[in-house]
Homo-oligomer: A and B are copies of this chain.
Amino acid sequence: MDFTFTEEQTLLRDSVVRALQRDYSFEARQSIVRSGTGWSPDVWARLVELGLTALPFPEDVGGLGGSVVDVVAVAEVFGEHLLVEPYDASIVLAGGVLAAVGRKDELERIASGEAIGALAHEEGRGTPDPSLVTTKAERSADGYALTGEKRLVLHGADADVLVVSARLDAGLALFLVDASAPVATRFTTVDGRRAAHLRFDGAPGTLLAADAEPLLRGVLDRAIVVLAAEAVGAMGGLLRRTAEYASTREQFGVPIGSFQTVAHRLADMKIAYVAARSTLLHTTALAEAGRLAPQDVAVLKAQVGRLGRRVGESAIQTHGGVGMTDELPIGHLHKRVLAVDAMFGGTDHHLRRLGAPRSPAATG
């Protein structure tokens, strides 16, 4: 058993830390969020330069053949720095599908960073589970026509390459759809990402894979691992900043960290962080070994959601008034954790999967 990063992974991670420390201060990030596009092509170019967009893809499409561990190693850093560039949407989600179905052309453009991809899958509260998708694909004269609504598609209105899940006959299928086809309602999320609701009204689609539920589940499971890494990175940021604040902020003539309730709240934040990060690393190792079971993903997603919320709320409470302002990263880190919790099935959804009766074969 080994749950540590390799030397190469540590070096990669350090290079990302340095780049973001230089180009992605909290103030810089806030201007990016407030900008028209909502994310920075310059920062994106920097990620391309560092090889991050190519990281998880095979070499024959210009990728670096990196593993899920590599992506997790950098995603923690993304989370702590509150990255809003379309890494999850393009590289992890859309890229994940395209790699699984072997679409080299699109993949090359995505790996090189020149195209942005997005995956339109979730349909809101009712459908954290792929089996509940209601968007429909019907055969048309020249292929397929998709009808339905997708909610909170990360970078759904920025994408050049749009992958869409839809019901085809009895199964679930994946399609490429012209990115300009859906009616998009754009918005910024509370954690500063751009996203959109997309309405498809007979949009023409190219079939990527039929009966793609297992494939999609695989992509979503790995995406959840990466999102969880971002959340854990954010939790680490919350813990570190709160510990620093408690050591320096004085009230009643002493640092607030010397009050036992503040100290114990910090201890609880640390316990939550350690638990969540342990599960992240363990689950990443399982994913790397190709042994990721649905319940492992459920544990990770639920723990990150529950424990992340607790860490964020404790950070705000410890900071007091200033923790309530838009001017400190604290609230933004908390909102990143909340957003991760809400996407791809919230805490309760995953906890109930864990608590449901198991077939004897699955026990162990």
Q: Which residues of A contact B (CB under 8 A)?
A: 259-261, 264
* Measured CA separation A259–B259 after assembly (Å): 9
The list of the 5 closest CB pairs from A to B, nearest first, reads A260-B260, A260-B261, A261-B264, A259-B260, A261-B261
Query: CB-CB < 8 A to A264: which residues of B?
Result: 261
Query: CB-CB < 8 A to A261: which residues of B?
Result: 260-261, 264
Nearest CB in chain B to that of A261: its residue: B260
Copies in the complex: 2
List 5 contacting pairs A-B, 8 Å CB cutoff, sorted by A. Answer: A259-B260, A260-B260, A260-B261, A261-B261, A261-B264
* Measured CA separation A261–B259 after assembly (Å): 9
User: A304 to nearest B CB, angstroms?
Assistant: 27
User: A69 to nearest B CB, angstroms?
Assistant: 39
Query: CB-CB < 8 A to A260: which residues of B?
Result: 259-261
* Measured CA separation A204–B50 after assembly (Å): 87
* Measured CA separation A260–B261 after assembly (Å): 6
User: A95 to nearest B CB, angstroms?
Assistant: 43
* Measured CA separation A261–B263 after assembly (Å): 10
* Measured CA separation A259–B264 after assembly (Å): 12
* Measured CA separation A54–B235 after assembly (Å): 63
Query: CB-CB < 8 A to A259: which residues of B?
Result: 260
User: A265 to nearest B CB, angstroms?
Assistant: 10
Nearest CB in chain B to that of A259: its residue: B260
User: A317 to nearest B CB, angstroms?
Assistant: 13
* Measured CA separation A259–B261 after assembly (Å): 9
User: A50 to nearest B CB, angstroms?
Assistant: 46
* Measured CA separation A264–B262 after assembly (Å): 12
Nearest CB in chain B to that of A264: its residue: B261
* Measured CA separation A284–B282 after assembly (Å): 54
* Measured CA separation A261–B264 after assembly (Å): 8
Nearest CB in chain B to that of A262: its residue: B260
User: A185 to nearest B CB, angstroms?
Assistant: 32
User: A212 to nearest B CB, angstroms?
Assistant: 38
User: A343 to nearest B CB, angstroms?
Assistant: 26
* Measured CA separation A312–B240 after assembly (Å): 35
